[in-house]
Amino acid sequence: MGRRYDPDRRQRIIDAAIRVVGRQGIAGLSHRSVAAEADVPLGSTTYHFKTLDELMVAALRQSNEGFAKAMTSSGAFEDPGADVADELVRLLGEWFSGERAGVELEYELYLAALRRPALRPVAAEWCEEVSAVLERRTDRFTARALVAVMDGICLQVLLTGGDYDAAYTREVLNRLLPSGT
């Protein structure tokens, strides 16, 4: 029997890896667990991703796309009349109002870079991409500080199990931003 044509297999494997990490954490990620989740032969996962780090890089890159795309598509960072703090507060609120497991998953993959050097460039790409969007309205240092503060707020919400506090976030962001931004 010939090889089955399956052009979406690589993407299904990435999606399966994200689901496995979402359910079992990074510790539950293996080529075998992903192959079972994706309903593909084990050899398919190792064909597309030689190492687990390669698979985690692909999963992190896909997970990171959400917030950065929302920032880019909002248009507020192109509009000099838009309030940057209000827009960031709105975007973070939308992000947290979605499925919390998805936000947790993104941060679990993001923080995995602490122990897996192969993931660090992808985590850095996300920071740079979000900073670049913010630099349209402020300077580089303020943009990077905003990213760090948003990360900190998100981690506090996730780690404490608390609710996202829009008023607190707005106050903190306003303290960082030059007036009129």
Residues 140 and 77 in one domain: yes
What domain range is 67 assigned to? 60-176
Instruction: Examine the domain organization and report whether 44 and 93 are in the same domain.
Output: no
The percent of residues in the chain predicted with pLDDT above 90, rounded, is 58
Q: Mention every residue, 6+ apart, whose C-beta is less than 8 A from residue 85.
A: 170, 173, 174, 177, 181
For residue 160, the domain's CATH number is 1.10.357.10
Euclidean distance between the first and final Cα of the chain, in Å? 63
Q: Is the pLDDT of residue 44 over 80?
A: yes
- Tell me, what's the pLDDT at 2? 44
Contact between residue 32 and residue 17 where contact means Cβ atoms under 8 Å apart = no
In a domain, 140, yes or no: yes
Query: Is residue 10, in this structure, part of any structural domain at all?
Result: yes
For the ranges 4-8, 89-93, 109-113, 149-153, the lowest mean pLDDT is seen at 4-8
The CA–CA distances, whole Å, from 162 to 56, 74, 153 equal 28, 26, 11
34 shares its domain with 68: no
Q: What is the per-residue pLDDT across 62-78, written as a single tens digit (0 to 9) for each?
A: 887 777 788 888 888 88
Higher pLDDT, 167 or 59: 167
65 with 46, same domain?
Answer: no
Question: Is 181 a domain residue?
Answer: no
**Does residue 19 lie in a domain region?**
yes
Examine the fold and report which residue of 30, 50, 70 is the final residue of a domain before the chain moves on.
50
Based on the domain organization, do 151 and 68 belong to the same domain? yes
Q: Quote the number of domains for the chain.
A: 2
Higher confidence at residue 109 or residue 164?
Answer: 164
Query: What value does the mean pLDDT of the chain take?
Result: 90
The mean per-residue pLDDT over the stretch 50-72 comes to 86
Whether the pTM exceeds 0.95: the reply is no
